[in-house]
Amino acid sequence: MRMYDLIMKKRNGAALSAEEIDWMVAEYTADKIPDYQMSAMMMAVYFQGMTGEETAALTMAMARSGDMLDLSAIEGVKADKHSTGGVGDKTSIALMPMVAACGLKIAKMSGRGLGHTGGTIDKLESFPGFSTEISTAHFIEQVNRIGISIMGQTLSLAPADKKLYALRDVTATVDNLSLIASSIMSKKLASGADAIVLDVKTGSGAFMKKEEDAFALAREMVMLGKSAGRKTIAVVTDMDQPLGCAVGNALEVKEAIETLRGNGPEDFVTLCMTLGTQMLLAGGKAETNKQAEEMLRRVIEDGSALRKLAQFVEAQGGNASAVYDTSLLPQASLVEEIRSEEEGYLTRMVCDEVGTCALMLGGGRETKESEIDLSVGLMLQKKVGDYVKKGDAIAAIYANDEGKLAMAKTRFLKACYFGEKAPERGSFIKGIVR
């Protein structure tokens, strides 16, 4: 087989066979297909799409490109959660300790930032010393001992997705249903959890801008999970404005900690409660929504979810004192408020633009090799629907470079729209796909 022929076949709109996909994934993983040819293939897939059969073949080929984790040494149901990516999405950092504090075993694999969206691993690295580069033996031992572990994608776990993910991030080929579904599900299937809860985002900050596309992605992933014998549930949620108020790695960690202290922003708390409920139901720890919600509330009130976060951070080499003293997290040297030049209701905040502001400040990667600045980002002081007077602060920018701060400020103001009437807001939770 020749990669050139496969690129041409896809470019011309034909479907690749499972055999061709297996070959392509194996050769790319073994560095026998260069990035420039795979970039061309990704762009061809982006424009031509993939059939359900191609998506399933790509998912399994990527899942099998490394080890398939055997978690049978962990007693009980192992649960995992994954988001399709959003702006200000610090959910795993609060939700995983909440659910673990309720007694469900969390064996999670996480990724880094992608495009304008952030990634859980980058965020967790805000804890000085924290590492997700742990061995499988460490991962299993930690889940057995404290009920929670998050590992990064090692070279042995879905390495094909690891390479492709980094390539798609810098070649504008992220937002394609088949590529997202196969990327997420290959990792989830390889990392061995029995129950998988997916948070599928929709809106201007999501890769799936339209609700119908988000539901299609949710259905595709639930089907891929179920056909591999895993309990899989997807919740479609709003990403038309940043989640909570913090956007940027260390700032989001701080907001997740505040949430575990009982002071989280309303939309973020709703999301954690909804996903947490689905996880506890799927993992057999609760029988009704009400029971699950009560369990989640209790672990916040009695402080056990916050203690679980500290225990988890420490177990993975991080400075757990930062959970109780957030001044130990990376801090930006410049903080400036962005004041409104208009008056009226904030009717819209173009969410991916806000993500791009954080990226431009240094909080995300421009190229595969970029180092990210964990301290930078934005703290929103107004959300869509709020009334804003001229001169009111809409957000604060955290930066380490005057030039980048000025650029982000201009871009952020252009992302905010005002009107005389309060905007109609749809529900935050759009639906659940089982």
Q: Which residues are catalytic?
A: 82, 161, 168, 183, 187
Q: Which helix (H) or strand (E) covers residue 431, if one does?
A: strand 429-433
Q: Which amino acid is at 185?
A: M
Binding residues for ligand URA restricted to 88-147, rule: CB under 6 A: 111, 114
Q: Which is nearer to ligand URA, 136 or 183 (CB)?
A: 183
Which segment (29-37, 65-73, 144-152, 173-181) binds ligand URA by CB under 6 A? 173-181
Q: Which is nearer to ligand URA, 237 or 340 (CB)?
A: 237
Q: Which is nearer to ligand URA, 46 or 165 (CB)?
A: 165
Near ligand URA by CB under 6 A: residue from 29, 84, 178, 375: 84
Residue of minimal Cβ distance to ligand URA: 183
d(CA 228, CA 407): 46
Give the contacts of 81 (CB within 8 A, at least 6 positions apart): 91, 92, 95, 96, 108, 196, 197, 198, 199, 275, 279
Total of chain residues touching ligand URA, rule CB under 6 A: 10
d(CA 333, CA 416): 25
Give the contacts of 118 (CB within 8 A, at least 6 positions apart): 87, 88, 89, 90, 247, 248, 249, 252, 355, 358, 363, 364
Does position 249 interact with ligand URA (CB under 6 A)? The reply is: no
- Quick check: 308 and 101 in contact, CB under 8 A? yes
Least separation in angstroms between residue 85's CB and ligand URA is 4
If one counts every other C-beta atom within 10 angstroms of the C-beta of residue 171, the result is: 17
Least separation in angstroms between residue 7's CB and ligand URA is 20
Secondary structure of 274-313 in the HEC alphabet? HHHHHHHHHCCCCCCHHHHHHHHHHHHHCCHHHHHHHHHH
Q: Report angle CA 126, 129, 135 to the nearest 5 degrees.
A: 110
Binding residues for ligand URA restricted to 266-285, rule: CB under 6 A: none
Least separation in angstroms between residue 139's CB and ligand URA is 18
Which segment (26-34, 91-99, 176-184, 233-241) binds ligand URA by CB under 6 A? 176-184
Does position 248 interact with ligand URA (CB under 6 A)? The reply is: no
Near ligand URA by CB under 6 A: residue from 58, 180, 282, 358: 180
Which segment (180-188, 208-216, 385-393, 409-417) binds ligand URA by CB under 6 A? 180-188
Least separation in angstroms between residue 120's CB and ligand URA is 10
Q: Which is nearer to ligand URA, 197 or 286 (CB)?
A: 197
Q: Which is nearer to ligand URA, 180 or 256 (CB)?
A: 180
Least separation in angstroms between residue 165's CB and ligand URA is 6
- Quick check: 322 and 313 in contact, CB under 8 A? yes
Does position 224 interact with ligand URA (CB under 6 A)? The reply is: no
Near ligand URA by CB under 6 A: residue from 91, 183, 274, 277: 183
Q: Which is nearer to ligand URA, 126 or 183 (CB)?
A: 183
What 8-state DSSP symbol labels residue 175? Answer: -
d(CA 319, CA 385): 38
The overall longest dimension of the chain from CA atoms, in Å, is: 64
Q: Which is nearer to ligand URA, 184 or 338 (CB)?
A: 184
Does position 332 interact with ligand URA (CB under 6 A)? The reply is: no
Q: Which helix (H) or strand (E) covers residue 1, if one does?
A: none
Q: Give DSSP secondary structure letters for 145-173.
A: HHSEEEEE--TTSSHHHHHHHHHHHTTT-
Q: What is the dihedral of CA 277, 221, 162, 129, to 10 degrees?
A: 0
Does position 184 interact with ligand URA (CB under 6 A)? The reply is: yes
Least separation in angstroms between residue 161's CB and ligand URA is 7
d(CA 163, CA 35): 9
Residues near ligand URA (CB under 6 A) are 84-85, 111, 114, 165, 174, 179-180, 183-184
